[in-house]
Chains A and B, each alone.
Chain A
Amino acid sequence: MADVAMSGPGRRVYFRQGTVLKVAVLAILIALIVLPLLRTVLFTLQPETITAWSDVLTGRLSENLFYKPLTNTLIIGVVVSSFCVLIGGFLAWLVVMTNVPFRKTIGVMATLPFMIPSFAAALAWGSLFRNDRVGGQVGWLQGMGLDIPNWLAWGMGPTLIVLTLHYFSLAFTIIAASLATVNSDLVEAAQIAGAKGGKILMGIILPVTTPALVAAGSLCFAGAVSNFATPALLGLPVRMQTLSTRLFGMIEVGQVSRGYVIGILLVLISGAFLWAGNRIVSGRRSYATITGKGGRAKRFDLRASRWPLFAVAFVILMAATVVPVIVLIASSFAPSSADLFANWTLHYWIGESSPDFAQGIPGIIHNNDIVRALLVTLALGCAVAVTGMCVGLLTSYTVARYREGLMSAAITQISFLPLLVPGIAFGAAYIAYLGAPIGPFPALYGTFALLVIAGTAYLLPFSVQTGRAVIQQVGGELEESARITGASFFRRLASITVPLAVRGLAAGGILVFVKIIRDLSLVVLLFTPTMPVLSVVAYRYASEGFAQFANAITVIILMISIAATLIANALQTKSQPWLKN
């Protein structure tokens, strides 16, 4: 074969198809996710820091450093995940399988608590239930003359309740989705076989939804054990420590290596439970795929218990959504949380600095710290939305197009790794990673860039998933058929990919934005006074006793989140002109 035949418009292929892309994506993911975690582990293994392991695990202080917080953490994990599965499962059953009144309303409301930042409910709890044990303002109920016992005001009890009211909505979403796939044919087949209500529940519905129950339980467990805001706000004042508050405390007081060790142990614990849950589920046969056509024919008739069951659901949902929001709003107007609904003033929102009020702290719009935090937070949300969607899209495109090979498998695994890492541990890892200069690169601690990079990495599992949905809309032959016309990569992007994907990308970006602006656990360690973000500012005000400012800031975060979520929903559902029928 003469090379002359090859002198035409061809080119040499130096790498196998996709190799360049895969290497690039893998490099990005390793830099974003693997290196920080690795660096944290390595930091604790240096000669001068390795004693941190024995300090934490066997030393004189290990009881207080690790074992007591560990016990608290495990109690929180087990109790919260059990109640979440119970409540979430109960609501999911009501909504999906029964004829309870206002089914759809219950369904929508049950998904809301997860949209509210987790510290919102903790702050609201404080405004209602604080007693005089730690000083400062008391809550509304104490102010009304009730004597609130310590166990209801502080520590483990409130932490369990608040976390359950936050995470049950996660369990609801997972279990409801699974129940919805239980074909009514399955139930009817059991009825024809002669089974009655209880038998059907125990023999058919429960086994079929077991994977969802396990998944919901392990996700709630991982969420609860890594939650920082709630135990910090409700437990720390009475010295109740969990691993995440311990980690925070260690880093705050400069015992960095001990903090990292606790962080690594926390990752291992939450990762082990997620892994175990996943193992149990995937060890079974997949039930979800066995679906026929049949629509849902009959709902389970609750008869006389329709309204009582509705009342139970109503109380739970009110306590988880409406009450905290009302309390937060009221408290941002009330000078004293002991008297929430009296003497309302706009001072905390628009007042000038005055020595008579809140030690001279000006209202939010005159408060430079808060305004700056608001701007930084919004900028952070936008930046992470853009970078997150770029990396997420690139990753999911690479994996969708070149499925085979070790590198693709590695890309998939690494992109979902942050799910196993609690936010606060991830924040700690990023301090270890970029807090000190690396070669020619300066230390990024206290810079906007650090927040953006850490946020992008932390939310990568989410943006990859969104990216994957977008790729499924656009990918494959639509893109290939454009490639075949000879259009360049950028031309294909501009004429085919972006027009088809723009709404999905925008909606995904907005959801990333919402997740980052209401996050506390990741940024609480990366926070510096020069680079403040709203959630941390709110947390600081709350721990210094200025509940009104904390609550007002939380209301702002809430409103931005809700507005952004609504926009995202509108974008996702808005009909596309070429899809009209």
Chain B
Amino acid sequence: MLEIKNITKRFGDVEAVKDVSITVPDGSFLVLLGPSGCGKTTLLRMLAGLEHPSEGQLTFAGQTVSDGDKNWTVDPAKRNSGLVFQSYALWPHMSVRGNVEWPLKVGQMSKAERTARVDEVLELLDIHQLAERYPNEISGGQQQRVAIARTIAPKPGVLLFDEPLSNLDAKLRVEMRTELMRLHRATAATTVYVTHDQIEAMTMATHVAVMNHGRLQQFGTPNELLENPATSFVATFVGTPPNNMIPVIKNGLGYKVGPKHMPFEPPKQSPESLAMFRAEALHVRSEESSTSLPMELVEMSAIAGRTMVTALRDGLRLTAIVDGVPAAQIGETVHMELPPEPACWFGQDGQRLV
């Protein structure tokens, strides 16, 4: 079990991480997902032991490795964990073999064992033919593999990744994604993976923790996040394309969407609520209807035999996935029709309304 209990981290007056609690079973693939500056990397660095939490506890398999309240810490090397840095941090003066071998040397493994283990991981990552090269002599994708090989060589129980794919081009990124998942199955190590890319999170994770402004927004399986977003932030951050979030404003006559009264009723009386609509539930019409909004067509792109249509009006941006291609041209006005009921409601504070 990997437990994160009420972790808070302050840098001076700034609270980078605020009261975050997450627990996942051994062997999980936990993704920390959020925009840049949300505290996910700080949390990862605390797990690695590079930062000490201001409050709260971190526990690996029953062993407390950091305790901010009791000022207790286990050195990074004794946590049975390994970290793959975003920059890879390969030592430029050591060959590929040297990079992978050095941590084992520090761990006082015998020469014969070391050689065997290095060969094994280089083989596992398919970079054995590069063993004698220096880091500057291999490509970015290969450097990435060396960094991973170096981290898994000492067989850590917890593997930590800091945005490992962000420096790779789109095609390599997809390949490495598959590779990392294969590796996760092969090593069975509990993995914590930081990314701002929700597609990576949705494809790789067994558990996702969505963070924003240092707070945990929601923790669950990828499906739970998609089916049951807990906050409006989660609802608009995950999913491809993202969900539509529309402000519904109460006035004397009823509820207004944009300039128009529509027959929606939020579960809680409030001057303003947010209604979530899934992209596939929207339709693009050429004629006005009771739940449609006239908007300017700004983008169209073909996706897997369907069309993703985006329209804009007064800062409100709606995305729909529709069959066929709308007749309208970019720049013309289309009528974006909403379904009779939103998928769910959120309050003004972003919290889900039941």
Measured in the bound complex, the distance between the Cα atoms of B136 and A121 in whole Å is: 47
Measured in the bound complex, the distance between the Cα atoms of B154 and A7 in whole Å is: 24
Stretch at the interface among A357-365, A445-453, A483-491: A483-491
Task: Check if B67 sits within 8 Å of A6, measured CB to CB.
Answer: yes
A11 at the interface (CB under 8 A from B): yes
Would you give the 0/1 interface string for B82-96, flagging 1 where the beta carbon is closer than 8 Å to chain A? 110111010111100
Instruction: Name the CB-closest residue of B to A495.
Output: B102
Task: Check if A485 sits within 8 Å of B107, measured CB to CB.
Answer: yes
Do A578 and B64 form a contact, CB below 8 Å, given A487-B106, A495-B102?
no
Task: Check if B72 sits within 8 Å of A477, measured CB to CB.
Answer: no
Please pick, from A17, A477, A500, the residue contacting B92 in the complex, using a CB distance under 8 A. A500
B74 at the interface (CB under 8 A from A): yes
Task: Check if B72 sits within 8 Å of A578, measured CB to CB.
Answer: no
Please pick, from A404, A483, A484, the residue contacting B11 in the complex, using a CB distance under 8 A. A404
B62 at the interface (CB under 8 A from A): yes
Task: Check if A578 sits within 8 Å of B134, measured CB to CB.
Answer: yes
Binding site for A on B (CB under 8 A): 11-12, 48-52, 57, 59, 62-65, 67, 70-78, 82-83, 85-87, 89, 91-94, 102-103, 106-107, 134-136, 150, 154
Measured in the bound complex, the distance between the Cα atoms of B76 and A496 in whole Å is: 17
Contacts of B134 in A (CB 8 A): 578
Do A579 and B103 form a contact, CB below 8 Å, given A10-B72, A13-B52?
no
Task: Check if B12 sits within 8 Å of A404, measured CB to CB.
Answer: yes
Binding site for B on A (CB under 8 A): 1, 5-6, 8-14, 16-17, 404-405, 476-478, 480-487, 491, 495-496, 499-500, 576, 578-579, 581
Please pick, from B62, B74, B136, the residue contacting A9 in the complex, using a CB distance under 8 A. B74
Contacts of B73 in A (CB 8 A): 10-13
Measured in the bound complex, the distance between the Cα atoms of B93 and A482 in whole Å is: 13
Contacts of B63 in A (CB 8 A): 5, 8
Task: Check if A484 sits within 8 Å of B12, measured CB to CB.
Answer: no
Contacts of B64 in A (CB 8 A): 1, 5-6, 8, 10
CB proximity of A7 to chain B, nearest CB, Å = 10
Task: Check if A483 sits within 8 Å of B102, measured CB to CB.
Answer: no
CB proximity of A427 to chain B, nearest CB, Å = 39
Please pick, from B59, B70, B89, B92, the residue contacting A480 in the complex, using a CB distance under 8 A. B89
Contacts of B59 in A (CB 8 A): 5
Task: Check if B48 sits within 8 Å of A484, measured CB to CB.
Answer: yes
- Which 7 residue pairs of A and B lie closest in terms of their CB atoms, listed nearest first? A486-B77, A477-B89, A485-B103, A10-B74, A481-B89, A13-B71, A578-B134
Measured in the bound complex, the distance between the Cα atoms of B91 and A500 in whole Å is: 9
Contacts of B136 in A (CB 8 A): 578-579, 581
Please pick, from A17, A484, A491, A576, the residue contacting B52 in the complex, using a CB distance under 8 A. A17
Do A480 and B85 form a contact, CB below 8 Å, given A17-B52, A404-B11, A579-B136?
yes
Measured in the bound complex, the distance between the Cα atoms of B74 and A6 in whole Å is: 9
CB proximity of A367 to chain B, nearest CB, Å = 47
Contacts of B76 in A (CB 8 A): 483-484, 486
Instruction: Name the CB-closest residue of B to A15.
Output: B71
Measured in the bound complex, the distance between the Cα atoms of B82 and A486 in whole Å is: 11
Instruction: Name the CB-closest residue of A to B160.
Output: A484
Measured in the bound complex, the distance between the Cα atoms of B131 and A4 in whole Å is: 44
Instruction: Name the CB-closest residue of A to B73.
Output: A13
Contacts of B72 in A (CB 8 A): 6, 10-13
CB proximity of B45 to chain A, nearest CB, Å = 9
Please list 19 pairs of residues, one from A and one from B, whose beta carbons are closer than 8 Å in the complex, sorted by A's number: A10-B78, A12-B72, A12-B73, A13-B52, A13-B72, A17-B51, A404-B12, A476-B89, A477-B86, A478-B92, A481-B83, A483-B77, A484-B82, A485-B102, A486-B107, A578-B93, A578-B94, A578-B134, A578-B135
Task: Check if B75 sits within 8 Å of A486, measured CB to CB.
Answer: yes
CB proximity of A380 to chain B, nearest CB, Å = 33
Do A8 and B74 form a contact, CB below 8 Å, given A405-B12, A499-B93, A578-B136?
yes
Task: Check if B83 sits within 8 Å of A484, measured CB to CB.
Answer: yes
Contacts of B70 in A (CB 8 A): 6, 12
CB proximity of A410 to chain B, nearest CB, Å = 15
Contacts of A499 in B (CB 8 A): 93
Instruction: Name the CB-closest residue of B to A485.
Output: B103
Task: Check if B71 sits within 8 Å of A14, measured CB to CB.
Answer: yes
Measured in the bound complex, the distance between the Cα atoms of B134 and A383 in whole Å is: 36
Instruction: Name the CB-closest residue of A to B150.
Output: A481
Measured in the bound complex, the distance between the Cα atoms of B92 and A499 in whole Å is: 10
- With a 10 A CB-CB cut-off, give which of A9, A17, A484, A579 has the most chain B CB atoms: A484
Measured in the bound complex, the distance between the Cα atoms of B65 and A11 in whole Å is: 10
Contacts of A576 in B (CB 8 A): 93
Task: Check if A16 sits within 8 Å of B52, measured CB to CB.
Answer: yes
Measured in the bound complex, the distance between the Cα atoms of B73 and A17 in whole Å is: 11
CB proximity of B336 to chain A, nearest CB, Å = 40
CB proximity of B53 to chain A, nearest CB, Å = 10
Measured in the bound complex, the distance between the Cα atoms of B94 and A581 in whole Å is: 15
Measured in the bound complex, the distance between the Cα atoms of B75 and A9 in whole Å is: 8
Instruction: Name the CB-closest residue of B to A478.
Output: B89
Contacts of A500 in B (CB 8 A): 91-93
Instruction: Name the CB-closest residue of B to A500.
Output: B93
Contacts of A496 in B (CB 8 A): 91
Extra contacts, 16 of them, besides A5-B63, A476-B89, A579-B92 (Cβ < 8 A), are A5-B64, A8-B63, A10-B72, A10-B74, A10-B78, A12-B73, A17-B52, A476-B87, A477-B87, A481-B89, A482-B102, A483-B76, A484-B77, A499-B93, A578-B136, A579-B136
Contacts of B71 in A (CB 8 A): 12-14
Contacts of B78 in A (CB 8 A): 9-10, 486
Instruction: Name the CB-closest residue of A to B85.
Output: A477
CB proximity of B98 to chain A, nearest CB, Å = 10
Measured in the bound complex, the distance between the Cα atoms of B88 and A477 in whole Å is: 8
CB proximity of A16 to chain B, nearest CB, Å = 7
Instruction: Name the CB-closest residue of A to B162.
Output: A477
Task: Check if B50 sits within 8 Å of A484, measured CB to CB.
Answer: yes
Contacts of B85 in A (CB 8 A): 477, 480-481
CB proximity of B4 to chain A, nearest CB, Å = 14
Instruction: Name the CB-closest residue of B to A2.
Output: B64
Contacts of A10 in B (CB 8 A): 64-65, 72-75, 78
Task: Check if B106 sits within 8 Å of A491, measured CB to CB.
Answer: yes
Contacts of A477 in B (CB 8 A): 85-87, 89
Please pick, from A12, A13, A476, A478, the residue contacting B91 in the complex, using a CB distance under 8 A. A478
Measured in the bound complex, the distance between the Cα atoms of B280 and A230 in whole Å is: 83
Measured in the bound complex, the distance between the Cα atoms of B19 and A170 in whole Å is: 54
Measured in the bound complex, the distance between the Cα atoms of B94 and A417 in whole Å is: 39
CB proximity of B235 to chain A, nearest CB, Å = 35
Measured in the bound complex, the distance between the Cα atoms of B150 and A477 in whole Å is: 14
Measured in the bound complex, the distance between the Cα atoms of B12 and A405 in whole Å is: 7
Instruction: Name the CB-closest residue of A to B76.
Output: A484
Measured in the bound complex, the distance between the Cα atoms of B243 and A86 in whole Å is: 63
Instruction: Name the CB-closest residue of B to A1.
Output: B57
Instruction: Name the CB-closest residue of A to B67.
Output: A6
Contacts of A14 in B (CB 8 A): 71
Measured in the bound complex, the distance between the Cα atoms of B73 and A483 in whole Å is: 15
Measured in the bound complex, the distance between the Cα atoms of B12 and A287 in whole Å is: 31
Do A483 and B50 form a contact, CB below 8 Å, given A12-B72, A405-B12, A478-B91?
yes
Task: Check if B92 sits within 8 Å of A11, measured CB to CB.
Answer: no
Contacts of A485 in B (CB 8 A): 77, 102-103, 106-107, 154
Instruction: Name the CB-closest residue of B to A479.
Output: B89
Contacts of A6 in B (CB 8 A): 64, 67, 70, 72
Measured in the bound complex, the distance between the Cα atoms of B45 and A481 in whole Å is: 12
Task: Check if B92 sits within 8 Å of A578, measured CB to CB.
Answer: yes
Measured in the bound complex, the distance between the Cα atoms of B72 and A429 in whole Å is: 45
Measured in the bound complex, the distance between the Cα atoms of B224 and A214 in whole Å is: 61
Measured in the bound complex, the distance between the Cα atoms of B91 and A476 in whole Å is: 12
Contacts of A482 in B (CB 8 A): 91, 102
Instruction: Name the CB-closest residue of A to B133.
Output: A578
Instruction: Name the CB-closest residue of B to A8.
Output: B63
Instruction: Name the CB-closest residue of A to B12.
Output: A404
- With a 10 A CB-CB cut-off, give which of A404, A476, A495 has the most chain B CB atoms: A495
Instruction: Name the CB-closest residue of B to A11.
Output: B73
Measured in the bound complex, the distance between the Cα atoms of B45 and A483 in whole Å is: 13
Measured in the bound complex, the distance between the Cα atoms of B87 and A366 in whole Å is: 60
